[in-house]
Structure 1
Amino acid sequence: MSETNKIVVPPRPPRGGGPFGGMNLPAEKSMDFTVSAKRLMGKLHPERLWLTLVFGLAVISVTFSVLGPRLLGEGTNLIFAGVLSQGLPSGESQADAIAGLRASGDNAQADLLSGMTLTPGLGIDFAMLSTVLFWALALYVLSSVFSWMQAYVLNGIVQRTVFRLRAEIEAKINQLPLKYFDSRQRGELLSRVTNDVDNISQSLQQTLSQIVTSLLTVIGVIVMMFLLSPLLALIALVTVPLTLVITALIAKRSQKLFVAQWTHTGELNGQIEETFTGHALVKVFGRQREVEARFAQKNDELYEASFGAQFISGLIMPAMTFIGNLVYVAIAVVGGLQVATGAMQLGDVQAFIQYSRQFTQPLAQLGSMANLLQSGVASAERVFDLLDAEEQSEDVDPAETPTQTHGRLVFEGVSFGYSADKPLIDNLSLVAEPGQTVAIVGPTGAGKTTLVNLMMRFYEIDAGRILLDGVDVSRMTRLDLRSRMGMVLQDTWLFGGTIRENIAYGRPDASEADILAAAKATYVDRFVHSLPEGYDTVLDDDGGNVSAGEMQLLTIARAFLAKPSVLILDEATSSVDTRTEVLVQKAMSALRAERTSFVIAHRLSTIRDADLILVMDSGRIVEQGSHEQLLAEGGAYHALYAAQFAAPVADEV
């Protein structure tokens, strides 16, 4: 095999791991926040036109919202001027009234009136006040309408983005090699695909709209504040650098905790999934307390990380509120002095106070959004780690395909190891002719299942080559290779669906007659008729409503239906009773005609009729021959056979 196709894989962990193992995985290393945030925002690039529309709607909504306080300030000026005008002599001008107040020594009221526009003796102009209030109401209504439109469009943007992200994850999972799944917990991986993606969706949904609206509001409010009073505007702007510094300090500390929170969430889900799968064994061995203790420990770790992340990031909002209150007091005091000296009108100060609230509130919201944004980016880091995982090597182009389908399988000097320093299979060679049944036996860890994984290209070999009908399997596409092979494992897999659908999974285009024929050949038909719905019986996703033996029969029927040129049986009858096993063996004899069959078995009684028996030990074939030949040789096979059958006889004697 060329160096480009050579893959060195880590040692394969024990399968299953039990409800107490596999939790000592290394903690996730946090990626750079800025890089991850930019990459997450890059997922929105296909929606750039819609984002432009969202920005335009936000500008209109914020513009109307920002103009509202200015109109309300004008209303306040009309009311205040009208009240003061009632105490002045009717018929004289405002200048004459001010001059009269100064002549009488009332300079304070004169200064107050000098900053206003009024008609002495007129009172409140209710017609003008009604017009001002109408337009203020109209502005706020229009602002709400455009804000709703913005939220509606943004929701579509976020959901389409998350839809594409899920599709990208699904495509990535289909491209990952088996070693990736062997080295990770199912629950932790599922947490990335579900919990983390949902958290990204929620974070984008809540932060994008708020960030855009808050930034535009800050800009619009600053413009209006400078138009009303540059002095008060400068006082308000003191909060900006202070806000940025506080937010940056808090966010830096909380980001690591958010990464830890979602890492512990994945690990806890992995432990729960593992314990749930092995629930019966936990009960049988009385390990509930140990499981509960491990759960409590992992739950405490998640609690500490979550509490720390939420607490520290939650400090942003109170800090921003405190700064905003200080600015509010300063503006009220300075603004009051401005009104008293006639430099500003009361309505302008009122509008400015509203603007100060509008100014500090978005800053506080931006600070609180950092909480959600950090959580979303932490989840994005975990998803990107999955998307960046090393994929299986690409299929060769152009690919080769066998011209004839016989099922002749040849191993030529095959070497393989899960790690480079620990070879498992070394220079293995064998030939399996069409129609032959090749049984593989040996002690646990001898490499029997590994041999099957290499046939299916679940793992790539380190040296040598494997030929199927004269073609190197590394030159074939994986889809073509696996379509020519059928596999029945000891660990059965059924999905949530009817019995008919589970059997047809082996060949989706199979007719009803083909499905029934496969079911009868594998004796599935015998127990299906005892079920209330027959072939329409819906199975649980774990096959919980049929027995373990029946589950295996269903998987065997699935392989029968596929009619592969190479049939692989990995302890495929370990869960069926002895009588059914005999019947299935007879059915398999018909299926194996003109097909190559590999049978991995621990019960040697099931392989007596095999054409060729390979005895493996430490990745090597130490003996090969027929059942009678190997017994006559008195070697490793004879020792295995004696261990299974001679010992029980001796015990009985």
Structure 2
Amino acid sequence: MSAPDVDPQRLSPESEHPFKRLLHYAKPHKKRVWAAATSSVLNKIFDLAPPALIGAAIDVVVEQEDSLVASLGIVDVTHQLIALSVLTVLIWGLESAFQYLQEWLWRNLAQTIEHDLRQDAYNHIQNLEMAYFHEQSTGGLMAILNDDINQLERFLDTGADDILQVATTAIVIVTTFFILAPQVAWMAMLPVPLIIWGSFKFQRMLAPRYAKVREQVASLNGQLANNLSGIATIKAFATEDYETRRISRESDDYRQANRAAISLSAAFSPLIRMAIVMGFTATLLYGGMLAIEGTLAVGVYSVLVFLTQRLLWPLTRLGKTFDLYQRAMASTRRVLNLLATPISIISGQTPFEKEGARGELVFEDVEFAYPDREPILQNFNLRIPAGATLGVVGATGAGKSTLINLLMRFFEPAKGTVRIDGTPLHELRTDDLRRAIGLVSQQTFLFHGTVRENIAYGSFDADDDAILRASRQAEAHPFIEELPHGYDTIVGERGETLSGGQKQRISIARAVLRDPRVLILDEATSAVDNATEAAIQRSMNRLARDRTMIIIAHRLSTVRAADHIIVMDQGRIIEQGSHDELVALGGDYAALWNIQTGNTHHTSTDAAE
């Protein structure tokens, strides 16, 4: 699979703040961001109007023909109240309309950014080399793709809107205060610097605690995913109690990490509330005294009291907003750091059409080692002619499957070159290369779905006739017809409703349907009975025509008919030739053949060792 086209700006260094890195995902949606932000601001402006209307109504009742509304040309008191009533309905209607718009825009924007981020993260994961997956748990990756990205959605749903609305509230009310009563304004603003300082101090203290929470939830998800995958083993070894205790420990660690964050998060609002009381009390007392003295209009005093409350009390929500923000940033950092993981296997640019391919494979002086392990291949050389069938045998760990990993470009050799039809694999488009190679692995994987869907996986445009031909070639058609719903039978997750041999034959049919130039069978008969092995053997004999075939097997009967057989040990070819030549050689292959056929009395002492 070729690497995705990812904006390099999205893969900023890990040291950059996650919020700045996240902004790159908002850039394609600038118009929607501005529309959502404008709706939030207008919603808050109209939300702040009712205190002014209340103050105007009080002013009408107290001042009557001398009120502010009267100065606008509406002298009659009743008409003034009617005008205020109409204005109230209009303002509340506009507030409701903009509230709908801001919620609709922010929530849909959150869903869009969440979708983009999850798609990029998943696509990036698919393009990482197989070594990466050896170091990561499935549950941990699921936690990033689901839970971490969902944390971001929760912040964008409400947190961004809250920040905008608090900022709008502060600007509108502070401006109003200094216009109406500058002598009172400074007292109302007294706690604001303390609240702002406390908010930023709070969120800096909260950040590492939520980072720990995200780490713990990933660990918990990893253990849960591992246990669910191995549920049969857990039952077989009667370790349910042990696993329950293990999950309990992981869950308790997650709870304790949350408890540490909650203890700080819960303290914010009460502390800020006490600071707010200072500003509210000062306005209530000092403004009231000015109103009694007659230097401040009663209506204006009413507006100031209401606005002080409207300014200061929403600041207590900053605690929850910062809580959401820190959760989101801790999760975003994990997602974006995943996206910053370098892709080491880069697709080449040379097309490779399987229709014109011959299938000649060459390993030239190849050296390879798995991470943190000794080299398994050193100066390895092998040539497989086009159309030939190669059998590969050897003990576990001899390097047999490593050949397949290099051919499929799941890993890259440290030195040397692997070629197909004379072209180095790293120069070819990876998608083209893998479409030209059919792989039937020992670890057969079937997706939840029908038999038909699993055979057609990777050949999605194949018609029913092609699927039937492939299943017949793989000796799968007879047993498929006997299933409850034939080709439309649901196989279950990982194909659990089928036997090992049935899954292998469906896997062979899936590979055959692609009509690859190179077909690889990696231990395809290792876990099947003799009848199934015979069926798979017949399949292989038919499939070997007009294509290069590599058969890795422990059962030598599986490779007996191969054109050429190599015996591997510790990454080296120690014997090679046809079946008859190797048996006549009397070496390791002959010893193993005699053991598997029961002719142990023909095995020399040296060979047996």
Q: TM-score, normalised by structure 1?
A: 0.84
Question: 1-side partners of 2:88 and 2:535: how far apart?
Answer: 86
Aligned to 1:72: 54
One-letter code aligned to 2:245: A
Change (3 A) 1:313 1:643: farther
> Which of 34, 37, 56 lines up with 2:19 in the alignment?
37
One-letter code aligned to 1:58: S
Considering only CA atoms, is the larger Rg found in Structure 1 or Structure 2?
1
Aligned to 1:168: 120
Question: 1-side partners of 2:182 and 2:276: how far apart?
Answer: 18
Aligned to 2:482: 530
Instruction: Say if 2:524 is the partner of 1:572.
Output: yes
Once the two structures are superposed, residues 187-245 of structure 1 have per-residue CA deviations (whole angstroms, 9 ceiling, x without a partner) of 11122111111221121111121111111111101111222322321112122211122
* Residues 316-335 of structure 1 mapped to structure 2, 5 A cutoff: 316-335=268-287
Deviation of 1:627 after TM superposition, in Å, equals 2.8
Deviation of 1:649 after TM superposition, in Å, equals 9.8
Deviation of 1:460 after TM superposition, in Å, equals 0.9
Runs of at least 5 residues in structure 1 that lack an aligned partner in the other structure: 1-29, 86-93, 95-114, 119-123
> Which of 230, 233, 252 lines up with 1:278 in the alignment?
230
* Residues 187-198 of structure 1 mapped to structure 2, 5 A cutoff: 187-198=139-150
* Residues 248-287 of structure 1 mapped to structure 2, 5 A cutoff: 248-287=200-239
495-504 vs 149-158, which moves further: 149-158
What SS is found at the alignment partner of 2:494? coil
> Which of 123, 135, 140 lines up with 2:87 in the alignment?
135
Question: 2-side partners of 1:420 and 1:275: how far apart?
Answer: 27
Conserved? CA contact 1:497–1:539, under 8 Å: yes
> Which of 184, 201, 210 lines up with 2:136 in the alignment?
184
Question: 2-side partners of 1:308 and 1:44: how far apart?
Answer: 32
What SS is found at the alignment partner of 1:43? helix
Aligned to 1:208: 160
Deviation of 1:352 after TM superposition, in Å, equals 1.1
419-428 vs 443-452, which moves further: 419-428
Question: 2-side partners of 1:117 and 1:277: how far apart?
Answer: 73
Once the two structures are superposed, residues 235-279 of structure 1 have per-residue CA deviations (whole angstroms, 9 ceiling, x without a partner) of 121222111221122212211111111221122111111111111
What SS is found at the alignment partner of 2:576? strand
Deviation of 1:578 after TM superposition, in Å, equals 0.8
Conserved? CA contact 2:276–2:312, under 8 Å: yes
Once the two structures are superposed, residues 118-144 of structure 1 have per-residue CA deviations (whole angstroms, 9 ceiling, x without a partner) of 9xxxxx945534433442343233222
Aligned to 1:298: 250
Question: 2-side partners of 1:423 and 1:262: how far apart?
Answer: 36
> Which of 383, 389, 412 lines up with 2:335 in the alignment?
383
Instruction: Say if 2:10 is the partner of 1:58.
Output: no
Q: TM-score, normalised by structure 2?
A: 0.90
Deviation of 1:389 after TM superposition, in Å, equals 0.8
Deviation of 1:116 after TM superposition, in Å, equals 12
What SS is found at the alignment partner of 2:47? helix
Question: 2-side partners of 1:496 and 1:383: how far apart?
Answer: 27
Once the two structures are superposed, residues 555-604 of structure 1 have per-residue CA deviations (whole angstroms, 9 ceiling, x without a partner) of 01111222212111111122332112112201210111232211111223
What SS is found at the alignment partner of 1:497? coil
What SS is found at the alignment partner of 1:315? helix
* RMSD (Å) for aligned C-alpha atoms: 2.7
* Residues 472-491 of structure 1 mapped to structure 2, 5 A cutoff: 472-491=424-443
- Report the number of matched residues: 585
* Residues 576-587 of structure 1 mapped to structure 2, 5 A cutoff: 576-587=528-539
Change (3 A) 1:52 1:404: closer
Aligned to 2:413: 461
Deviation of 1:506 after TM superposition, in Å, equals 4.6
Conserved? CA contact 2:352–2:432, under 8 Å: no
Change (3 A) 1:398 1:117: closer
What SS is found at the alignment partner of 1:44? helix
Change (3 A) 1:581 1:75: same
Change (3 A) 1:649 1:223: farther
> Which of 503, 513, 530 lines up with 1:561 in the alignment?
513
Deviation of 1:534 after TM superposition, in Å, equals 0.9
Conserved? CA contact 1:522–1:587, under 8 Å: yes
What SS is found at the alignment partner of 1:542? helix
Aligned to 2:588: 636
One-letter code aligned to 2:531: R
Change (3 A) 1:302 1:154: same
What SS is found at the alignment partner of 2:438? strand
Conserved? CA contact 1:116–1:342, under 8 Å: no
Question: Share of identical aligned residues, percent?
Answer: 32
One-letter code aligned to 1:322: M
Once the two structures are superposed, residues 97-129 of structure 1 have per-residue CA deviations (whole angstroms, 9 ceiling, x without a partner) of xxxxxxxxxxxxxxxxxx9999xxxxx945534
